[in-house]
Amino acid sequence: MQNQNSESLPTERLAGKNIVLGVCGSIAVYKAAELASLLVRGGANVRTVMTESAAKLMSPRIFQTLTRNDVSVCMWKEVESWKPEHISLADFADALLVAPATANTIANFANGLAGDTLACVYLATKAPVLVAPAMNSNMYSHPAVQANIDTLRKRGVRFVQPACGRLACGAEGVGRLADPAEIARQTAELFGVG
């Protein structure tokens, strides 16, 4: 499904940028595939890191095909290089984009927990970080989640505001993953464009 606003996106300004796309285990994971496609069409070189939960909801092969790059899921897989994969990805990144971001991943980032490849990449990168949350509205508004978001904002992490509407669980409220075109636009803004 192509977004009708995709023609007016500044994604062509992403040409040559190295984006690490972090994908977490949210039902909104299917929108991350559209986002990856938008970034690639804009000329970005996209490497995807999926949490193990995300890989249970959507096959990593989808992101491998869309980005034409290997997808990292497990910290313990064999790698061809001497350099640990999370360090290679952290060094590769011109930007780290996490979409959808779950409450768990946001908490890991805020508390410096390195239990998966994505959290390790976050801790090791010097690149700008953009996070697009997606979760139930009660979870999103919970004081613990909001405190973690505030902590990350104070450290320079930028956030894409989740959308309001009908959620996968049937509830209405804030928590839907923002439109992939909007996330792509805000990614371009990380580089001073858009």
Catalytic residue positions, numbered: 169
Report the 10 Å Cβ neighbour count for 163: 15
Nearest to 115 by CA among 78, 74, 56: 74
Find the helix or strand (DSSP H, E) in which 23 lies: strand 18-23
Distance (Å) of CA 107 to CA 5, 111, 144, 177, 178 = 33, 6, 8, 18, 20
Distance CA 65, CA 48 (A): 11
CA torsion 43-129-21-75 (nearest 10°) is: 140
Q: Which of 80, 70, 73 is nearest to 47 (CA)?
A: 70
Please give the structure tokens belonging to residue 173: 């409220």
